[in-house]
């Protein structure tokens, strides 16, 4: 099972950027849990994280396959990413955009981690069964 960090814990980011490409071609399942962890933030700033796919690791799709809305506070923000409809995706990379407003320095500063975990078929089936019982 794939379980790795696209951006290592406690990484300081002050401008938009991209993670290194990650080869997901050996993953047994095409559903992943992307988790943004924010461990430090300054007031009046935001971060937005997206996940892009590629067939070769060099040419990236123009639109992200998944995005988290802007985040402003400390915490962990999970996002389930289903790549079943992207069969050519063999690589993924994280991308982040930062913004800052108000008084004081205009350079944003976040301390983040971006983790990608493969979700097992069993866990998906269990979640689907539980969701069906709640309908």
User: Which pTM value belongs to this model?
Assistant: 0.90
Task: Please tell me the least confidently modeled range out of 1-5, 7-11, 56-60, 127-131.
Answer: 127-131
pLDDT at 126: 86
- In the chain, where are the structural domains located? 3-133
Q: Does pLDDT of 9 surpass 80?
A: yes
Look up the CATH number of domain 3-133: 2.60.120.1110
Distant-in-sequence, close-in-space partners of 72: CB < 8 Å, separation ≥ 6: 41, 45, 46
pLDDT at 75: 96
The mean pLDDT value for 23-52 works out to: 95
Q: How many CB atoms lie within 10 A of CB 133?
A: 6
Mean per-residue pLDDT of the chain: 93
Q: Give the 3-state secondary structure of residue 51.
A: strand
- Could you tell me which residue, 55 or 129, shows the higher pLDDT? 55
The mean pLDDT value for 31-41 works out to: 96
Question: pLDDT digit string (tens) for 96-126?
Answer: 999 999 877 788 999 999 999 999 888 888 8
Q: Does pLDDT of 133 surpass 90?
A: no
The answer to whether the CB of 74 falls within 8 A of the CB of 41 is: yes
pLDDT band with cut points at 50, 70 and 90 for residue 32:
very high
pLDDT at 85: 86
């Amino acid at each position: 099972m794939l379980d790795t960090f696209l951006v290592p814990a406690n990484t300081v980011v002050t401008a938009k950027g991209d993670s290194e490409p990650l080869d997901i071609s050996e993953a047994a399942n095409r559903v992943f849990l992307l988790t943004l962890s924010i461990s430090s933030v300054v007031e009046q700033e935001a971060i937005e994280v997206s996940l892009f796919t590629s067939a070769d690791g060099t040419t990236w799709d123009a639109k992200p396959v998944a995005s988290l809305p802007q985040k402003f506070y400390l915490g962990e923000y999970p996002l389930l990413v289903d790549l079943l409809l992207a069969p050519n995706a063999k690589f993924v990379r994280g991308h982040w955009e930062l913004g800052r407003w108000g008084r004081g320095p205009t350079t944003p500063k976040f301390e983040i981690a971006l983790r990608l975990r493969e979700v097992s078929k069993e866990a998906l089936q269990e979640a689907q069964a539980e969701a069906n019982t709640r309908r």
